[in-house]
Structure 1
Amino acid sequence: MLKQAIPGCEPEDFLLGKEPHPVQFPNHHSTEKHAGYVRQEVQKAIDMGVIARWTPEMGSPTVVNGLRVVESKGGRKLRLCMNPMYPNLFMKIPPVKYETIADVCGFVQEGDWLFTTDDTSGYWNLLLHPSMYPIAAFELSGEIFYFRAMAFGFAPACWVYTLLKQELLRPLRTLSWDLAYLIDDLLSAARSEPEAQFGARLLVRLLTALGFTLGAAKCQLRPAHQARFLGFIVDAEKQALKVPEDKVQGLVALVVGLETQVGAGEPISYRQVAQVAGKIMAMSPAVSLAPLHARVVGQALVGKAAWDAALPDPSMFLQRARIFLSLLELKNGRTWWAKPSPTRLRAVGDASELGFGGLLPDGELGAASSFYVPFTPDQARRMMAGDFSSTEREVSAMGVCLKWIEASRPELTMSSTIQYQTDSQSAMFCVLGMKGAAPCLRAVDELLCWCAERDLELEVVWYPRESNFQEAADALSKHPDLTQWQLRAEVFDSLWMEPCLGGRQPTVDAFADERSTKLPKFYSPTWSPNSAGIDAFAQPWGGPDQLLYINPPFQLMGRVVRKIRDEQANCVLVTPIWPRWWMVTLNRMPVRARHRLPHSGLFECPKGAGGTPMVKSPRYAVEALYIIWD
């Protein structure tokens, strides 16, 4: 950009110092293509006081930024943007945690009534400080203008607008409003239609009174059980996220267009492949296998020379895109908070250097409840060549085991749940994360697509090789887990001196492992020798005799709060003081006491036998809540 604006300059010279240097950038050629639209938008902004003409009394602007017109939806939608990429380099942008569609899944309950709002030209409500005028200028038809309000393109724009909306919505959350927002989009849920109608009217009045402008076409102010939010359909009755039909048809049209392009003998570029992969990945919240298909599609990008270069062989790429479209027709939608189906079958498998073996520990097939299958000739050849990794073998063993079960008793694999036990953590993470090296990813693809065709839920869990059902040793449990942080011992001991407990002592540590547990009884995320249960969310928390100590990974706090509420679990909960939706739910619970925990060195992590524990202080305030239902 700098070399285009000032031919022959040294760009490094313009990056020195703390403030931008004087420079004028040209407008993008798209402003000439849409000249009428540009003039119309600038005049509208002038009339609203967002843009003003630069006057001689103001001196000379420091940076004259370029304008460009961004086209979307096939050119049907235009947006005028300023390109302040150069002044952005000199701005400090604090980190901010944006809310996502996943937050909606935390508070929307079955049968809720939903409504949404969408701000129009929201950034124009944020007036710039006069000191920013010299770097907010642009040129049009030989005349200099400048933005008096936040322009779309300034790096801190999202951060500033998010904090503004956060403070605006904080009182509503204090009043127990269930809502989530991302910049200018907002969704709220209520238990009844009248409550939702009242909330919609109140929110509209509040926003408009504060100067916000709402886009009526994008708002859903008539409460319903379904609402479109952040590109998905939120279905409160089915507790599911769905991909809107127009997005599905958009992907269909894109793939059909590429097939037509190939049929006409025209090449497909890497950029077009990336576009399809991106659209598939964006559907992940509503389609569980979307990440897998997107990564398989994205394999075509490996070794690309340039984004606009031609793809050598588009057939595999188009075939995969078509497979995903077929899957989307069969299953568009992903439920949340659904009650897990009981595990109907346990299977154990392993891979050696010769073949695959496995068994059903509960003997559902009687005397035939075990199997051994040698490698295929191709697998044996790859094994001899050192091209058949242990991770890929373990993933392949899962597929062989499931096919063996289907061949023996087909009903066991139809619309059921199978828990598969493996001694390979790498294989478990490869399947659960739907990613890995290309050969492993292909094996995961075959496995999960096979399961999807049968509506089979596959749960992969890790067990050590020393267990009764695994043959070979695995020494992972001998290595310290450096990611399991816990409260310092003295802080933990002080928790149980609270008078509201009446002398009651904790019964179980809900989130721990062998090294970090504070209590004899604990739940662990994976198998652990003395664990009372694997996966705290799969264990019962309720009961008058229970008093759980809950110090979870804070990113799981939404699920934790929901389970506490649903099961009315008596507990001492360690929680960050964050302005999130689940704070509203906590405020509705019987919190008998709350204590701010000491900040300095609050957490420690065991460093192994004989090692000195590592300590750290959180970046945020942490408190302990005493939630007693009985």
Structure 2
Amino acid sequence: MAKTGSGGLFTPRRRHKVFRVTIRQAQSSYSLTDAVYCRRLVFLLYSTSMESGMPGKPPHPKGKSLPATEKKDKTPEKATSVQVQGEPGTSNPPFEKRRGFYSRLFLVKKASGAMRPVLDMRSLNKFLQKKKFKMESLASVIQAISVGDWLTNIDLKDAYFHVPICQDHRKYLRFEVGGVHVQFKCLPFGLSQSPRVFTKILVTLIAELRKEGISVFHYLDDILITAKTKKEAKVQTTRVLEFLQLHGWIVNMEKSSLVPTKSLIFLGAHFQTQKNLVSLPLPKQEKLVQAIEDFRRQEVVSVRHCLKILGLMSSTIQIVKWARWHSRPLQIFLLRKVKNPQENLQKKLTLSQELKNTLGWWCVPDNLGKGTPLEEPDWITVTTDASGVGWGAYIGEVCVQGSWELGHVSSNVIELRAIKEALLALADHLKGKSVKVFSDNTTAVAYVRKQGGTRSIRLAEEVEPIFQWAELCLEHITAVHLPGVENQKADFLSRSFADPGEWSLHEDIFQDLVNTWGVPEIDAMATIHNRKCKRFFSRFPCKEAEATDGLRQDWSRELIFVFPPIPLVWKVLKKIEREKANAIVVIPYWPRRPWFPLLHRLSLGQPKKIPKFPGWLNQGMFQFHKKDHLCLMAWRLRGGD
């Protein structure tokens, strides 16, 4: 086997046939002498028993070399001419015809208007090993770019055609057009391993540039350079450009953006670093809206059409807030109708009016154009837990909880319900913020982090109210798994409950009442933990208390403060009337209750409304969260005629 440069070829595995992929002029023109790069200039694509598993002759696809739509525009002869004479990636095999492996050719129109040859290589791909590899993604690029960065973009021309296929294995990349037999001599579009091979070769060069301190990212043939200053961006872009050209890569100058800017479109996203924003470009917005409007107008659609729309939606997930959440209805609709969508592409489905209405969200320009911030938001964390008897949650020292009777419900369901209850209970602390939920249930975390899911319809229904509220009230929401051993506080809150009759007013509220009506001498219904006066009557025996059971004590001697449990309001009012007591009383404004007329008669003036703010009612670390159900008023009362 011939050697290429100082690195040579990898030795193929025994009993495996290979595609050998080489780079032209590897040993002569490159300045980079790193052996890693030299070795990566030659790549092996393995397939088990390649030649024994492939037919020597193809099942001849008469009349199927080009799709019918292409035949209307180009005769087979012209199409052949375009590929053989106009593209560097194909050639006419000089040897026996109908040997090797034939695939169907079709043409894809480029953005420039030129036609790109693509082989339908699904049959061939079945013989190739699937190997995972890592490549840049829009998410990783967003994570790397900072506010104020300068950006440039380099586009490689005919990217795959930089990578020739060795002579012996070009026979696997053949097609026929108009009776002319043609084969690819370079890496073709459509081969399952093409992205991996191309990425593995180019990433070695990218690594060399990063060693020089250049912040450079690439996704196949698109390359992005970021820098902190405009001057630095110019210098580094020039360096990358020269480096790529030196190593044999052809740059598409027309599609490249070589002038540093703070507003650049890359990987289908509009980066605006001066605004800390990445958003969906306007042309993509218009294309998406048009596609979904056309889809909504249909009564019956194919599974293929549904998948196409879902593909358009999924391409926006990283840059359109709540996009993943609003793609779920179509996903769930499809999965309810078809078990294996990829195997039933032509099946017809009837769209419901409810689904059409739901998809209307995608047709609102404001929903698609808001974008997301480049930099990580300032998260406010909410830790939650659930048990069979209740739920608990906290933010720092602010704690909330609630009880329930659920019956036979899965742990995943109750954990999602706990998250919902926690968000609603802590709404005053969370509105307009970016929220990170900590939970010890991995499934609940996944359904929040991924904005729903498709594996369980029941869980999808449970998470729906969370995102309906979050979209209206929050900037962002995500979730993180917290091991159970580290979630003891929320676990305690979900099992140990506050006494519903022992809520305490915030100290600032009490002081405001004192400033208005004077200082009470005694708190007639209190505990050592929530008393508002030094002297107090306790519900239970307590050595610090002046007496036990305030309703049995004398209230006629001095100004008292009373914040009674709701069931005791009537008894408290009657005692004030009977003993001609002077009191500051905190009672809900409930005019429908039978005791309200008595309250009105005892009042010395207009009551004061108790303001609602975080901590307005509490029991130590527990905070009262059902504020919408309770309108508290403070009253200055006096008994007697």
The bucket for the TM-score relative to the shorter chain is 0.5 to 0.7
Kept in 2, the 8 Å contact 1:350–1:422? The answer is: no
Give the Cα separation in 2 of the matches to 1:149 and 1:50.
Answer: 5
Kept in 2, the 8 Å contact 1:464–1:473? The answer is: no
Matched, 1:173 2:210: yes
Q: Which of 429, 438, 442 is equivalent to 2:446?
A: 429
> Closer, same or farther in 2 for the Cα pair 1:170/1:357, shift >3 Å?
closer
Q: Which of 391, 395, 416 is equivalent to 1:395?
A: 416
Q: Deviation of residue 135 (structure 1)?
A: 2.3
> Closer, same or farther in 2 for the Cα pair 1:336/1:50, shift >3 Å?
closer
Q: Which of 198, 207, 227 is equivalent to 1:161?
A: 198
Q: Which of 29, 36, 56 is equivalent to 1:21?
A: 56
Q: Which of 187, 192, 212 is equivalent to 2:229?
A: 192
Indicate the SS of the match to 1:188: strand
Q: Deviation of residue 179 (structure 1)?
A: 0.8
Matched, 1:66 2:87: no
When the two structures are aligned, how many residues end up with a matched partner?
434
TM-score by length of 2: 0.59
Give the Cα separation in 1 of the matches to 2:424 and 2:87.
Answer: 67
Kept in 1, the 8 Å contact 2:264–2:271? The answer is: yes
Give the Cα separation in 1 of the matches to 2:305 and 2:416.
Answer: 31
Supply the AA of the counterpart residue of 1:392: V
Kept in 2, the 8 Å contact 1:239–1:338? The answer is: no
Indicate the SS of the match to 1:151: coil
Matched, 1:127 2:164: yes
Give the Cα separation in 2 of the matches to 1:155 and 1:468.
Answer: 50
Supply the AA of the counterpart residue of 2:431: M
Supply the AA of the counterpart residue of 2:413: E
Instruction: Report the equivalent of 1:230.
Output: 267
**CA root-mean-square deviation:** 3.6
Q: Which of 276, 290, 302 is equivalent to 2:335?
A: 302
Give the Cα separation in 2 of the matches to 1:245 and 1:28.
Answer: 33
**CA offset digits 1:262-320 (Å, max 9, x no partner):** xxxx4133322222222222212213532232233200112434333332343232223
Matched, 1:447 2:466: yes
Q: Which of 223, 245, 251 is equivalent to 1:214?
A: 251
Instruction: Report the equivalent of 1:147.
Output: 184
Kept in 2, the 8 Å contact 1:361–1:469? The answer is: no
Q: Which of 251, 256, 262 is equivalent to 2:288?
A: 251
Supply the AA of the counterpart residue of 1:179: V
> Closer, same or farther in 2 for the Cα pair 1:372/1:65, shift >3 Å?
closer
Give the Cα separation in 2 of the matches to 1:421 and 1:351.
Answer: 16
> Closer, same or farther in 2 for the Cα pair 1:210/1:424, shift >3 Å?
closer
State percent identity of aligned pairs: 17
Give unmatched runs, 5+ long, in structure 1: 1-13, 376-382, 475-630
Kept in 1, the 8 Å contact 2:319–2:372? The answer is: yes
Give the Cα separation in 1 of the matches to 2:57 and 2:277.
Answer: 53
Matched, 1:34 2:73: yes
Supply the AA of the counterpart residue of 1:258: F
Instruction: Report the equivalent of 2:303.
Output: 270
> Closer, same or farther in 2 for the Cα pair 1:96/1:347, shift >3 Å?
closer
Instruction: Report the equivalent of 2:151.
Output: 114
Matches within 5 A, 1:547-558: none
Give unmatched runs, 5+ long, in structure 2: 1-48, 339-343, 496-641
**CA offset digits 1:403-431 (Å, max 9, x no partner):** 3444xxxx434213566565644323332
> Which of structures 1 and 2 has the bigger CA Rg?
2
Q: Deviation of residue 72 (structure 1)?
A: 8.2
Matched, 1:81 2:102: no
Instruction: Report the equivalent of 2:312.
Output: 279
> Closer, same or farther in 2 for the Cα pair 1:424/1:41, shift >3 Å?
same
TM-score by length of 1: 0.60
Give the Cα separation in 1 of the matches to 2:110 and 2:460.
Answer: 33
Instruction: Report the equivalent of 1:54.
Output: 93
Deviates more, 1:268-277 or 1:208-217: 208-217
Q: Deviation of residue 164 (structure 1)?
A: 2.3
Q: Deviation of residue 113 (structure 1)?
A: 1.0
Indicate the SS of the match to 2:199: helix
Give the Cα separation in 2 of the matches to 1:148 and 1:423.
Answer: 54
Instruction: Report the equivalent of 2:8.
Output: none
Deviates more, 1:464-473 or 1:268-277: 464-473
Q: Deviation of residue 81 (structure 1)?
A: 1.6
Kept in 1, the 8 Å contact 2:320–2:367? The answer is: no
Kept in 2, the 8 Å contact 1:255–1:318? The answer is: no
Kept in 1, the 8 Å contact 2:55–2:101? The answer is: yes
Matches within 5 A, 1:369-518: 372=402, 388-406=409-427, 411-416=428-433, 424-434=441-451, 435=453, 436-455=455-474, 457-458=476-477, 460=479, 462=482, 464=484, 467-471=488-492
**CA offset digits 1:136-172 (Å, max 9, x no partner):** 3222222222222222223332222212212332321
Kept in 2, the 8 Å contact 1:119–1:212? The answer is: yes
Supply the AA of the counterpart residue of 1:414: K
> Closer, same or farther in 2 for the Cα pair 1:206/1:42, shift >3 Å?
farther
Q: Deviation of residue 330 (structure 1)?
A: 7.1
